[in-house]
Amino acid sequence: MSSVLSKAFPSAVKEIRLHLSPVGSGSAGARKFLQNNYQLIKKNNPNLPFLVREAKDTPARLFLRLERGAERSAEIDSLEPNAIEKKIKEFLS
């Protein structure tokens, strides 16, 4: 399976942030994505900041900060891990 996560991100990506609830059911997919993919992303992008912000009852959101301060974000509440990966792929294309 060729995954966007299995290779280095473009140099234009400066930071990834994931906001989620540590116990909320809507953030379950985001937590699973984090468990399954954090190590792979860091292995392929060792110098890329990957920030995880937990707050009770907050909707899960994904942020990619790009060069020159541009930022892309999406609400990922109630999404499955593979749908979150597709969002990242959309952001990178």
Residue 43 CA to residue 62 CA, distance in Å, equals: 20
Tell me: the pLDDT tens digits for 2-56?
488 888 999 999 999 999 999 999 999 999 999 999 999 999 999 999 999 999 9
Task: Give the start-end residues of each E strand in the chain.
Answer: 13-20, 50-54, 61-66, 71-75
Q: Tokens 């699973």: give the residue.
A: 32
Per-residue pLDDT at 1 exceeds 50: no
Bridge partners, 18 (sequence order): 52, 62
- Asked: is 11-92 a CATH 3.40.30.10 domain? The reply is yes
Per-residue model confidence as pLDDT tens digits over 23-38 = 999 999 999 999 999 9
Q: What is the pLDDT of residue 93?
A: 85
pLDDT of residue 3: 80
Query: How do the domains of the chain map onto residue ranges?
Result: 11-92
